[in-house]
Amino acid sequence: MGKLDGQVVLVTGAGKGIGKAIVELFAAEGALIGACGRNMASLDAVCSDVASAGGKAVPIKLDLQSEESIEAAAAECVAELGPIDILINNAGIIALDKLNDTSAEVWDDIMSTNVRGPFLMCKAVVPSMMERHTGRIINVGSMAGRRGYPEQGAYCASKHALVGYSKVLALETQKFGIRVHMLSPGGVLTELSRDLREFRGESEDSPEWMTSQECAEAAMYLCTQTGAAFTDELVLRRFASEPWR
């Protein structure tokens, strides 16, 4: 018996990195996965691997900058698998540049994907959770949502905004039995952080960076926390980084 048997989980950014690791781990624990993202080839490959391992994951096309695409993806997940029990807003983008050199277009792209996207995903999914008086949402943030980093101004602003959004969402949905978490990792070995590692002169496979699998395990912990104790935000830092900063 799996930890998430029969639970329907919608994951954004499911084709690679943290999202892919979450899909694989959650499916192995019996969840039914709506694997959402832009690259259908990547999603098909992930879902095929899940099926080969005996799990179930459905690839769903999603453009987080399109409200129509978001609504359609949520509806497709429900039609294929049933009402959504867990929503994991994982997808995100980053750009490295000083604030004064960041274009308005880049700023808008990051805000649209990292903040507006999760907002609209919740608008599409939360009403059903409220009706059923159950549900869980994990918004994947970052240490960049807790402090500032040079050359990451737009990304930091978006992740700080996601924290504020999550706080209010938790307040407004608590009486409906909905659990809202933030999962905020530091440096993770993903495609998203490749340019950052190169910028810092760190190796492509540095053992000091977290893995996507470690983040997926943290997400699993949040999704199996059902008692009186509750974790609003789970922060993961690299062990090699400065403690308590």
Q: Catalytic positions, please?
A: 155
Residues in the chain: 245
Rounded to whole angstroms, how far apart are CA atoms 56 and 28? Answer: 9
Rounded to whole angstroms, how far apart are CA atoms 201 and 138? Answer: 32
**DSSP H or E stretch at residue 87:** strand 86-89
